[in-house]
Amino acid sequence: MRNFFQYIFSKSSVFLFYTGLSLAIFLTASFFYLAINYPTLIYNLETSEFDFFKSLTLLGKFYMISGIFPNFLFLILIFRFIKFIISIFLELLIGFFEILGSILGLVFSNENFNKLEKTFASKKPKIEKKVKKTAKTLNLNKSEKNVFWMAPIAALGIGILPMPIGYYMLSRLIVSGCALYFAQKFYKKKTNTKLWIFGFFVVLYNPIAPIYLYEKAIWVIINIPTIYYFYINRRFA
C-alpha cells in the first residue's frame, strides 16, 4: 500500500487530472448504463429493506463508494495547488522581512539613505529568484498549469449529471480555487474587468460560506458561462 501511494504522489498533475477525469466519466456512465439496462445488477428488487444502501447489490455498493478514487486524485491536485500558493506567500513574506530588516538596520545605523534604494534593488532579484525556484521545485510547468483551467471545466461539466452532495462541495473547492488563481493573475496584469469576474466566481463557488440557489437548473445555466469564461482565458494559466 505504501508503494502504491508513493507511485500516485510521484505522478505529474496532468497525469492525475486526466486519470481522475477518466475514472469519474467511466464510473458515472457505466453506473447509469447498468442501472437503466440491467437494474438487477445494481438493485436487489426482491428485498423488502427500506434502507437504500442495503437494497443495493455488491456491485451497486461498489459504485456508491467508487467515487472516492477520482476524488482522491483531485484532492492531490488541490493539495498541490494550496501548497504552491502557500509556498509563494511564505517566500514573499520572507523577502519582505529581509527588506524590513535591512531598512531598520539603515535607520538605526544612520547610514546614507541612498543605501536604502540600493537595498530594494538588490533584494528584488533575490525574491524573484526564490519565487521561480519555488515554482520549479513544485514542477508547475506550462502543461501542468493547464490544470487550473481544465479542472474547473471538468468539475462543472460532470456536475451537470446527478451526483452525490459531496461531489458538489468538492467541485466548489476546485472552481473557487482555480478562479482565485486567475484572479491573482489578472490582479498582477491590472486587468480589472476579468479580475472582478473571477473574483465573483471565487465568492459564488466558495465552499466556506456556500451560496445556495436550490434549483439545479439555475446552477446549470450559471455553470455554462463559467465554463466558457475559464476556456477563453486558458492562455493566462
Domain ranges of the chain: 81-140, 146-237
Is 210 in a helix, a strand, or coil? coil
User: Which has the closest alpha carbon to 182: 132, 142, 229?
Assistant: 229
**Range from 111-120, 157-166, 192-201 that averages highest in pLDDT:** 192-201
Question: Looking at per-residue confidence, does 117 or 76 come out higher?
Answer: 76
Which residue's C-alpha cell is 455553470? 223
Residue 138 has pLDDT above 50, yes or no: no
Vertex 114: Cα angle to 111 and 115 (nearest 5)? 60
CA distance 105 to 3: 51
Residue 43 has pLDDT above 50, yes or no: yes
Predicted pLDDT of residue 25: 86
Predicted pLDDT of residue 149: 84
User: Which has the closest alpha carbon to 213: 224, 226, 223?
Assistant: 223
Predicted pLDDT of residue 154: 87
Residue 104 has pLDDT above 60, yes or no: no
Contacts 24+ apart (CB under 8 A), 58-65: 59/34, 63/27, 63/30, 63/31
Which residue's C-alpha cell is 450559471? 222
CA distance 216 to 222: 10
Q: What is the pLDDT of residues 115-124, one digit of tens each?
A: 656 665 666 6
Predicted pLDDT of residue 122: 65
CA 137 to chain centre: 19
* Exposure b/e, 153-162, CB count within 10 A at least 16 = b: bbbbbbbeee
Predicted pLDDT of residue 132: 59
What Rg, from alpha-carbon coordinates, does the chain have?
24
Which residue's C-alpha cell is 460532470? 158
CA distance 152 to 81: 13
